[in-house]
Amino acid sequence: MLPARRNQNQVSLRQTNKLNRQKRIVANASRLFSSIGYEKTAIELVAERSNVSPATIYNNFENKTGLLLAVLIAEGEDAQRIGERIIAQRRPNDVGIIYRLIDMYVSHPMEFMNKTCWRQALAASTASSNKKFTNEYQNVDNQLGNLLIHLMHSLYEEQIFITQVDPQSLGEIIWNNVNQMFTNFISCEEMPLEALKNALDRQTRALLGLAVRKG
């Protein structure tokens, strides 16, 4: 093997190992945040569960807030992949896909962390000085919104909506409502997930009732 090719393979292997190590750390942090809470989850405990040193976590995520934001990013990226699969499997003229996508948007986050952790995570996403992770999270959030907006454009091109509808604005309104309702949901400890889904279903149906072509 040529030296240059050997060096490239070594670099690629190191990058792969680093990425896998980061994924393992984030997965363990997510489980600990949900099971014992953010405050009780020490970096040392995450390191022990991940079979790495605490210094490795600090080098990769700076601090516990950075680690929490990394969990948010991982959840968003996973939701993006699921959303893309949902849309790829849709049939033409399928309005019901909007509801299935919204259902996934609010169900999936609760598989990663509980409400308390999500409150702390969303607060950290706006207040943290860790610009690298806050920017990455904002980018992932924008991509999730764009997935819904692009779907609205596709449905408009299939003449699902009346001609007066602006699919860009319609997608933005629905996405902003999902975000606001999810924020309300995690702010109320007593509110069950099913109540959030029912409210979003009712609100979205009312909106689409004005936009979908009749007959």
pTM score, whole prediction? 0.84
Report pLDDT digits (tens) over 155-206: 999 999 999 999 999 999 999 999 999 999 999 999 999 999 999 999 999 9
Domain 68-211's class?
A: mainly alpha
Report pLDDT digits (tens) over 61-120: 988 988 998 998 999 999 999 999 999 999 988 999 999 999 999 999 998 888 988 998
**How far, in Å, CA of 19 to CA of 76, rounded?**
17
Q: Quick check: helix, strand or coil at residue 19?
A: helix
Residue 178 sits at φ, ψ, to 5 deg, of: -60, -45
∠ CA 142-131-37 to the nearest 5 degrees? Answer: 85
Cα within 13 Å of Cα(127), Cβ side: 8
Q: Would you tell me which CATH number, out of the four given (1.10.10.60, 1.10.10.10, 3.40.50.620, 3.50.30.10), belongs to the domain 1-61?
A: 1.10.10.60
How many CB atoms are located within 10 Å of the residue 135 CB? 11
Give the residue range(s) of CATH 1.10.357 domains in the chain: 68-211
Give the residue range(s) of CATH 1.10.10.60 domains in the chain: 1-61
